[in-house]
Protein backbone atom coordinates (compact mmCIF):
# COMPACT_ATOMS: atom_id res chain seq x y z
CA UNK A 1 0.00 0.00 0.00
CA UNK A 2 2.87 2.34 0.84
CA UNK A 3 4.54 1.60 -2.50
CA UNK A 4 1.26 2.27 -4.30
CA UNK A 5 0.92 5.62 -2.52
CA UNK A 6 4.43 6.60 -3.57
CA UNK A 7 3.69 5.57 -7.16
CA UNK A 8 0.48 7.60 -7.16
CA UNK A 9 2.40 10.64 -5.94
CA UNK A 10 5.11 10.28 -8.60
CA UNK A 11 2.64 9.83 -11.45
CA UNK A 12 0.52 12.71 -10.13
CA UNK A 13 3.52 15.06 -10.09
CA UNK A 14 4.53 13.86 -13.58
CA UNK A 15 1.03 14.72 -14.80
CA UNK A 16 1.39 18.23 -13.35
CA UNK A 17 4.69 18.74 -15.20
CA UNK A 18 3.10 17.78 -18.52
CA UNK A 19 0.18 20.14 -17.78
CA UNK A 20 2.65 23.00 -17.27
CA UNK A 21 4.14 22.37 -20.74
CA UNK A 22 0.70 22.14 -22.38
CA UNK A 23 -0.74 25.23 -20.73
CA UNK A 24 2.34 27.31 -21.50
CA UNK A 25 2.22 26.16 -25.12
CA UNK A 26 -1.49 26.98 -25.25
CA UNK A 27 -0.88 30.65 -24.40
CA UNK A 28 1.93 30.94 -26.94
CA UNK A 29 0.11 29.22 -29.82
CA UNK A 30 -3.21 30.95 -29.10
CA UNK A 31 -1.62 34.38 -29.13
CA UNK A 32 0.29 33.51 -32.30
CA UNK A 33 -2.84 32.20 -34.00
CA UNK A 34 -4.84 35.31 -33.17
CA UNK A 35 -2.10 37.71 -34.26
CA UNK A 36 -0.60 35.92 -37.27
CA UNK A 37 -3.53 34.06 -38.90
CA UNK A 38 -7.03 35.11 -40.07
CA UNK A 39 -8.58 32.98 -37.34
CA UNK A 40 -10.59 34.80 -34.70
CA UNK A 41 -11.21 33.83 -31.09
CA UNK A 42 -14.54 32.17 -31.94
CA UNK A 43 -12.89 30.08 -34.64
CA UNK A 44 -10.20 28.86 -32.24
CA UNK A 45 -12.92 27.94 -29.74
CA UNK A 46 -14.77 26.05 -32.50
CA UNK A 47 -11.63 24.11 -33.42
CA UNK A 48 -10.90 23.42 -29.75
CA UNK A 49 -14.33 22.12 -28.85
CA UNK A 50 -15.08 20.56 -32.25
CA UNK A 51 -11.95 18.39 -32.35
CA UNK A 52 -12.29 17.49 -28.67
CA UNK A 53 -15.97 16.62 -29.03
CA UNK A 54 -15.46 14.41 -32.09
CA UNK A 55 -12.48 12.64 -30.51
CA UNK A 56 -14.27 11.90 -27.25
CA UNK A 57 -17.74 11.06 -28.61
CA UNK A 58 -16.95 7.33 -29.03
CA UNK A 59 -15.42 7.30 -25.55
CA UNK A 60 -18.50 8.84 -23.95
CA UNK A 61 -20.76 6.51 -25.94
CA UNK A 62 -18.85 3.49 -24.62
CA UNK A 63 -18.38 4.67 -21.02
CA UNK A 64 -21.69 6.42 -20.50
CA UNK A 65 -22.32 9.11 -17.91
CA UNK A 66 -21.54 6.83 -14.98
CA UNK A 67 -24.49 8.01 -12.98
CA UNK A 68 -23.64 11.71 -13.40
CA UNK A 69 -26.84 13.72 -13.73
CA UNK A 70 -27.57 15.97 -16.67
CA UNK A 71 -27.31 19.08 -14.49
CA UNK A 72 -23.83 18.15 -13.33
CA UNK A 73 -22.80 17.26 -16.89
CA UNK A 74 -23.84 20.71 -18.07
CA UNK A 75 -22.03 22.40 -15.17
CA UNK A 76 -18.79 20.51 -15.86
CA UNK A 77 -19.05 21.10 -19.61
CA UNK A 78 -19.94 24.77 -19.41
CA UNK A 79 -17.29 25.78 -16.88
CA UNK A 80 -14.32 24.25 -18.70
CA UNK A 81 -15.91 24.23 -22.16
CA UNK A 82 -17.50 27.21 -23.94
CA UNK A 83 -17.47 29.64 -21.01
CA UNK A 84 -13.81 29.09 -20.18
CA UNK A 85 -12.70 29.02 -23.82
CA UNK A 86 -14.61 32.15 -24.85
CA UNK A 87 -13.25 34.16 -21.91
CA UNK A 88 -9.63 33.12 -22.37
CA UNK A 89 -9.39 33.21 -26.18
CA UNK A 90 -11.10 36.59 -26.39
CA UNK A 91 -8.87 37.74 -23.53
CA UNK A 92 -5.80 36.85 -25.57
CA UNK A 93 -7.03 39.12 -28.35
CA UNK A 94 -6.04 42.06 -26.17
CA UNK A 95 -3.53 40.72 -23.65
CA UNK A 96 -0.08 39.19 -24.33
CA UNK A 97 0.67 35.50 -23.80
CA UNK A 98 2.43 36.08 -20.47
CA UNK A 99 -0.70 37.75 -19.11
CA UNK A 100 -2.80 34.88 -20.42
CA UNK A 101 -0.83 32.39 -18.37
CA UNK A 102 -0.56 34.59 -15.29
CA UNK A 103 -4.24 35.36 -15.08
CA UNK A 104 -5.46 31.83 -15.81
CA UNK A 105 -3.20 29.15 -14.36
CA UNK A 106 -1.29 31.62 -12.17
CA UNK A 107 -4.16 32.60 -9.89
CA UNK A 108 -6.03 29.30 -10.12
CA UNK A 109 -4.85 28.28 -6.60
CA UNK A 110 -6.58 31.36 -5.17
CA UNK A 111 -10.00 30.64 -6.65
CA UNK A 112 -9.68 26.90 -6.01
CA UNK A 113 -8.92 27.46 -2.32
CA UNK A 114 -11.87 29.83 -1.96
CA UNK A 115 -14.34 27.46 -3.63
CA UNK A 116 -12.97 24.36 -1.87
CA UNK A 117 -13.33 26.08 1.50
CA UNK A 118 -16.83 27.25 0.64
CA UNK A 119 -17.82 23.72 -0.48
CA UNK A 120 -16.49 22.16 2.71
CA UNK A 121 -13.69 20.25 0.98
CA UNK A 122 -11.00 22.23 2.76
CA UNK A 123 -10.63 23.14 6.39
CA UNK A 124 -9.54 26.62 7.37
CA UNK A 125 -6.40 27.32 5.30
CA UNK A 126 -3.19 27.63 7.28
CA UNK A 127 -1.48 30.97 7.66
CA UNK A 128 1.34 29.72 5.41
CA UNK A 129 -1.07 28.93 2.59
CA UNK A 130 -2.81 32.27 2.98
CA UNK A 131 0.52 34.09 2.81
CA UNK A 132 1.45 32.16 -0.34
CA UNK A 133 -1.90 32.89 -1.96
CA UNK A 134 -1.49 36.57 -1.05
CA UNK A 135 1.88 36.62 -2.83
CA UNK A 136 0.31 34.99 -5.90
CA UNK A 137 -2.40 37.67 -5.91
CA UNK A 138 0.30 40.35 -5.66
CA UNK A 139 2.08 38.74 -8.63
CA UNK A 140 -1.16 38.82 -10.64
CA UNK A 141 -1.59 42.50 -9.80
CA UNK A 142 1.92 43.17 -11.08
CA UNK A 143 1.05 41.45 -14.34
CA UNK A 144 -2.05 43.62 -14.67
CA UNK A 145 -0.13 46.82 -13.92
CA UNK A 146 2.52 45.79 -16.44
CA UNK A 147 -0.22 45.55 -19.03
CA UNK A 148 -1.16 49.18 -18.45
CA UNK A 149 2.24 50.31 -19.75
CA UNK A 150 0.67 51.19 -23.08
CA UNK A 151 2.33 48.57 -25.26
CA UNK A 152 -1.00 46.79 -25.82
CA UNK A 153 -4.37 48.45 -26.40
CA UNK A 154 -7.33 47.49 -24.24
CA UNK A 155 -5.16 45.10 -22.26
CA UNK A 156 -7.34 45.77 -19.22
CA UNK A 157 -10.28 44.19 -21.04
CA UNK A 158 -8.20 41.17 -21.92
CA UNK A 159 -7.05 40.85 -18.31
CA UNK A 160 -10.63 40.95 -17.01
CA UNK A 161 -11.71 38.25 -19.45
CA UNK A 162 -8.69 36.12 -18.62
CA UNK A 163 -9.41 36.31 -14.89
CA UNK A 164 -12.81 34.74 -15.50
CA UNK A 165 -11.00 31.62 -16.72
CA UNK A 166 -9.55 30.37 -13.41
CA UNK A 167 -12.77 31.24 -11.62
CA UNK A 168 -14.67 28.89 -13.94
CA UNK A 169 -11.96 26.23 -13.77
CA UNK A 170 -12.02 26.36 -9.96
CA UNK A 171 -15.74 25.58 -10.03
CA UNK A 172 -14.95 22.55 -12.19
CA UNK A 173 -12.13 21.47 -9.87
CA UNK A 174 -14.31 21.50 -6.77
CA UNK A 175 -17.27 19.88 -8.53
CA UNK A 176 -15.29 17.06 -10.14
CA UNK A 177 -13.65 16.33 -6.78
CA UNK A 178 -17.03 16.10 -5.07
CA UNK A 179 -18.50 13.86 -7.78
CA UNK A 180 -15.35 11.68 -7.92
CA UNK A 181 -15.67 11.45 -11.69
CA UNK A 182 -13.23 9.21 -13.53
CA UNK A 183 -10.69 11.44 -15.36
CA UNK A 184 -11.45 10.03 -18.82
CA UNK A 185 -15.22 10.20 -18.31
CA UNK A 186 -14.94 13.79 -17.05
CA UNK A 187 -12.96 14.78 -20.14
CA UNK A 188 -15.46 13.04 -22.42
CA UNK A 189 -18.39 14.82 -20.76
CA UNK A 190 -16.71 18.22 -21.02
CA UNK A 191 -15.64 17.66 -24.65
CA UNK A 192 -18.92 16.34 -26.05
CA UNK A 193 -21.34 18.46 -24.07
CA UNK A 194 -19.10 21.51 -24.46
CA UNK A 195 -19.12 21.14 -28.24
CA UNK A 196 -22.91 20.80 -28.32
CA UNK A 197 -23.32 23.88 -26.13
CA UNK A 198 -21.03 26.00 -28.31
CA UNK A 199 -22.38 25.13 -31.77
CA UNK A 200 -25.50 27.34 -31.47
CA UNK A 201 -23.31 30.18 -30.18
CA UNK A 202 -20.99 29.91 -33.19
CA UNK A 203 -23.90 29.80 -35.64
CA UNK A 204 -25.01 33.21 -34.31
CA UNK A 205 -21.68 34.98 -33.70
CA UNK A 206 -19.06 33.04 -35.64
CA UNK A 207 -17.39 33.97 -38.93
CA UNK A 208 -17.03 30.74 -40.97
CA UNK A 209 -15.38 32.67 -43.81
CA UNK A 210 -12.27 32.98 -41.65
CA UNK A 211 -11.84 29.21 -41.74
CA UNK A 212 -11.66 29.28 -45.54
CA UNK A 213 -8.73 31.73 -45.44
CA UNK A 214 -6.47 29.28 -43.59
CA UNK A 215 -4.72 26.26 -45.17
CA UNK A 216 -6.22 22.91 -44.22
CA UNK A 217 -2.93 21.83 -42.67
CA UNK A 218 -3.01 24.84 -40.31
CA UNK A 219 -6.62 24.13 -39.35
CA UNK A 220 -5.76 20.51 -38.60
CA UNK A 221 -2.76 21.56 -36.52
CA UNK A 222 -4.70 24.18 -34.56
CA UNK A 223 -7.61 21.79 -34.06
CA UNK A 224 -5.38 18.95 -32.90
CA UNK A 225 -3.42 21.16 -30.52
CA UNK A 226 -6.32 23.07 -28.99
CA UNK A 227 -8.85 20.23 -29.07
CA UNK A 228 -6.87 17.07 -28.50
CA UNK A 229 -3.73 18.14 -26.66
CA UNK A 230 -5.07 21.07 -24.61
CA UNK A 231 -8.60 19.86 -23.87
CA UNK A 232 -8.32 16.07 -23.81
CA UNK A 233 -4.69 15.82 -22.76
CA UNK A 234 -4.50 18.51 -20.10
CA UNK A 235 -8.01 18.00 -18.72
CA UNK A 236 -7.50 14.26 -18.31
CA UNK A 237 -4.10 14.81 -16.72
CA UNK A 238 -5.46 17.59 -14.51
CA UNK A 239 -8.34 15.45 -13.23
CA UNK A 240 -5.91 12.56 -12.73
CA UNK A 241 -3.53 14.77 -10.73
CA UNK A 242 -6.37 16.07 -8.56
CA UNK A 243 -7.30 12.49 -7.66
CA UNK A 244 -3.71 11.35 -7.04
CA UNK A 245 -2.08 14.27 -5.23
CA UNK A 246 -5.03 16.53 -4.37
CA UNK A 247 -6.30 19.80 -5.76
CA UNK A 248 -4.02 21.89 -3.54
CA UNK A 249 -0.75 20.54 -4.90
CA UNK A 250 -2.16 20.35 -8.43
CA UNK A 251 -3.21 23.99 -8.57
CA UNK A 252 -0.05 25.09 -6.78
CA UNK A 253 2.07 23.27 -9.34
CA UNK A 254 0.30 24.86 -12.27
CA UNK A 255 1.04 28.32 -10.90
CA UNK A 256 4.55 27.96 -12.39
CA UNK A 257 2.98 28.38 -15.82
CA UNK A 258 3.31 32.22 -15.81
CA UNK A 259 7.08 32.05 -15.45
CA UNK A 260 7.48 29.43 -18.16
CA UNK A 261 5.15 31.33 -20.49
CA UNK A 262 6.70 34.75 -19.91
CA UNK A 263 10.16 33.48 -20.82
CA UNK A 264 8.83 31.49 -23.79
CA UNK A 265 6.81 34.45 -25.10
CA UNK A 266 9.93 36.63 -24.89
CA UNK A 267 11.98 34.10 -26.84
CA UNK A 268 9.36 32.99 -29.38
CA UNK A 269 6.94 35.90 -29.84
CA UNK A 270 9.29 38.74 -29.02
CA UNK A 271 7.06 40.01 -26.20
CA UNK A 272 8.76 42.39 -23.81
CA UNK A 273 10.13 41.13 -20.51
CA UNK A 274 9.95 44.31 -18.43
CA UNK A 275 11.35 44.64 -14.89
CA UNK A 276 7.81 44.61 -13.49
CA UNK A 277 6.98 41.47 -15.45
CA UNK A 278 10.16 39.81 -14.17
CA UNK A 279 9.21 40.82 -10.63
CA UNK A 280 5.79 39.29 -11.13
CA UNK A 281 7.37 36.03 -12.29
CA UNK A 282 9.60 35.93 -9.19
CA UNK A 283 6.65 36.66 -6.91
CA UNK A 284 4.62 33.90 -8.55
CA UNK A 285 7.46 31.46 -7.89
CA UNK A 286 7.77 32.54 -4.26
CA UNK A 287 4.02 32.22 -3.84
CA UNK A 288 4.11 28.72 -5.33
CA UNK A 289 6.88 27.57 -3.00
CA UNK A 290 5.08 29.05 0.01
CA UNK A 291 1.77 27.42 -0.87
CA UNK A 292 3.38 24.07 -1.65
CA UNK A 293 5.26 24.02 1.67
CA UNK A 294 2.10 24.95 3.54
CA UNK A 295 0.12 22.18 1.85
CA UNK A 296 2.64 19.52 2.84
CA UNK A 297 2.36 20.61 6.47
CA UNK A 298 -1.44 20.84 6.62
pLDDT band at 145 (very low <50, low <70, confident <90, very high): confident
- With 0.75 as the threshold, say if the pTM is over it: yes
On the question of pLDDT at 134 being above 50, the answer is yes
CB 153 within 8 A of CB 92: no
The CA distance from 183 to 255, in Å, is 21
On the question of pLDDT at 240 being above 80, the answer is yes
The model's pLDDT over 146-190, given as tens digits with 9 standing for 90+, comes to: 877 656 667 888 888 999 999 998 999 888 888 888 888 998 999
CB 144 within 8 A of CB 280: no
CB 247 within 8 A of CB 173: yes
The model's pLDDT over 53-85, given as tens digits with 9 standing for 90+, comes to: 999 999 999 999 989 999 999 999 999 999 999
Residue 17: helix, strand or coil by DSSP? Answer: helix
On the question of pLDDT at 3 being above 80, the answer is no
Within 13 Å, how many C-alpha atoms sit on residue 41's CB side? 20
The CA distance from 75 to 7, in Å, is 32
Phi, psi (deg, nearest 5) at residue 179: -80, -15
Amino acid sequence: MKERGRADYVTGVAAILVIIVIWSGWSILSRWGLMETPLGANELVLLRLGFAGLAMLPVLWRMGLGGIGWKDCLILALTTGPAYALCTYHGLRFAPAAHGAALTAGILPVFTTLFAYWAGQLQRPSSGRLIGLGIIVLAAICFIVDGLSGEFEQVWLGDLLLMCGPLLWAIYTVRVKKLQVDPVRATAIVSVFGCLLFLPIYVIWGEPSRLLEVPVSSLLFQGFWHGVVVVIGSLTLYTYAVHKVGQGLTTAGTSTVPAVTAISAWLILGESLSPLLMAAVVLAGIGLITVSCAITQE
